[in-house]
Amino acid sequence: MHSRILRLTVCNGFIKKSAFTNCAADAASGANDTTVVTSVNPYTKEKFQLNLHSKKANSYGLHNFFPLPKEAIEGLKLAIITCSRNSKQLQHEADQLSTTLSQRKFPAPHQVIEQARIEIQKKLKNDDSFTYDDRFSEKINEAKQYEARRKVGKYLRQCFFNWKPLTFETRENAAVYFLSRFHNNYAEVLRVLQEFRRVNFVPKTVLDYGSGTCSVFWAANEMWGSKVEEYQCIDPCDEMNKFAMDVLRGSNNDGSSVFVHPNINFRRYLPPSLDHKYDLIVAHRVFVELASHDSRIDLLSALWARTNRYLVLIDSSGKEAFDALISLRDYIIEAGYEIHANELRELLSKEGLLDDELKKIIDDRSLSEFERYYLLREKIPKNLALPTRIELGHTFAPCPHDQGCPKIVSKLHKF
């Protein structure tokens, strides 16, 4: 069974999956508030039927009120009283951090920053107080250049080009972040995980990358309880992990190693082996901490390689976050169809299947990656896996398709 990708942007609408990708569909109303969708694959001519029930007929419920579990509240209380600063001061710092995080944006690409720097420098050149003048001494001109650079840096920071990754060096810093984001993170993750009620999916193993407050555990535990056998929490911050462990002890926060779930493991980095895969991997507000698009793609590939069923990406509702998640979604979909030509030739030669027709398909540059993949898939036995950049996946939610985002396309066509 192919892996699936679940891409959800917090605070954006969720769309029920209602059609097969790349199929021509026609719908007819059925009885009992049911719509029958007939889909035809344009390549294989295979037909599929999908019964869509009306929203009123759905048995799963989506809630919008997410109070923290009692054990989480008790664990947080007992963890906070061990801090060196009093709770009132910690809460004040948490309120300030909440304001900062609400304005936090993804780091701008290097090209954008350099272009902004050039534009600012052009504007400063019109100001005589920052230009080089032979009438003044070298020290005065150096001071003017220093002031010009300082001014450029100030303007860039005002334009949100001052991104820095979050760091938590002390236990008190971790406590402030918990007070600021614990409940919000929990509500975001739980709202997203509710989408799995549509397919009655219950994971056996869960990996929370960038675990932080362990909101993924608390949300998953609220959803599935003891049905989940293993949790793997990964966060590079040692202080954050220690504080999260104290909270996970719940009301039994006496320094013992007993957590509210019997099998929760912590690591600072991803395990190097790809042998152990997880039914559900969640990356919640993680990609904003990476400085470049390439580093995000590297992390996404590493997570996807360890995904057995679903990969969930969650971030804020800001435009930068939306664009970043759309880019990551597109990579998963497109890279899954990107054939490694040399590896495929070697594989087909070894199996005695390489003929002139297959060579022509592999070498035809006029074909898109998607077309090449399905043409090869028709000619090659199903039990022979095609070597692609990553394992093939598809979107589960909120998009009902694997095509380009129509909202972005519609905006591009507006004049």
Given a cut of 50, whether residue 186 has pLDDT beyond it is yes
Distance (Å, rounded) from C-alpha 100 to C-alpha 62?
30
Is residue 145 situated within a structural domain?
yes
> Can you give the pLDDT at residue 69?
93
365 falls within a domain: no
- The C-alpha atoms of residue 368 and residue 22 are separated, in whole angstroms, by 14
Tell me how many domains the chain contains: 2
d(CA 108, CA 157): 11
pLDDT band at 287 (very low <50, low <70, confident <90, very high): very high
- Of 143, 159, 175, which residue constitutes the final position of a domain? 159
State whether 231 and 136 are in the same domain.
no
Exposed, middle or buried: residue 188 (CB in 10 Å: 0-12, 13-18, 19+)? buried
The encoded tokens of residue 186 equal 């929990």
Same domain, 125 and 271: no
Asked whether the predicted pLDDT for residue 411 surpasses 60, the reply is no
Confidence band (pLDDT; 50, 70, 90) for 12?
Answer: very low
- Considering the domain architecture, whether residues 174 and 269 belong to the same structural domain is answered as yes
Determine the Cα–Cα distance for residues 351 and 161; give it in Å rounded to an integer.
54
Nearest to 321 by CA among 99, 96, 103: 103
Q: Same domain, yes or no, for 171 and 132?
A: no
Q: 333 and 234 in one domain? A: yes
Residues 247 and 134 grouped into a single domain: no
Residue 217 lies in a domain: yes
Whether cis (ω within 30° of 0) applies to the bond prior to 406 is: no
Report yes or no on 362 lying in a domain: no
Percent of the chain residues past pLDDT 90, beyond the cut:
48
Domain range for 326: 71-83+166-337
CA distance 141 to 131: 8
Of 12 and 64, more confident: 64
243 within some domain: yes
Query: What's the chain's average pLDDT?
Result: 80
CB-count burial class (<10 Å; 0-12, 13-18, 19+) for 189: buried
Answer yes or no: do 152 and 275 share one domain: no
CATH number of domain containing 202: 3.40.50.150
Q: To which H or E segment does residue 342 belong?
A: helix 341-351
- The reply to whether 259 and 114 lie within a common domain is no
Domain boundary among 291, 319, 337: 337
> Does 221 share its domain with 75?
yes
Query: Are 249 and 291 in a shared domain?
Result: yes
Same domain, residue pair 206 and 76: yes
- Let me know whether 76 and 147 are in one domain: no
In a domain, 255, yes or no: yes
Last residue of a domain, one of 337, 360, 390: 337
Tokens of 30: 């059925």
pLDDT tens digit sequence for 288-333: 999 888 999 999 999 999 999 999 999 988 888 888 898 999 999 8
Has residue 29 been placed in a domain? no
Predicted confidence band at 8 (pLDDT cuts at 50, 70, 90)?
very low
The answer as to whether 358 is a domain residue is no
Q: Which residues face 49 on adjacent strands?
A: 38
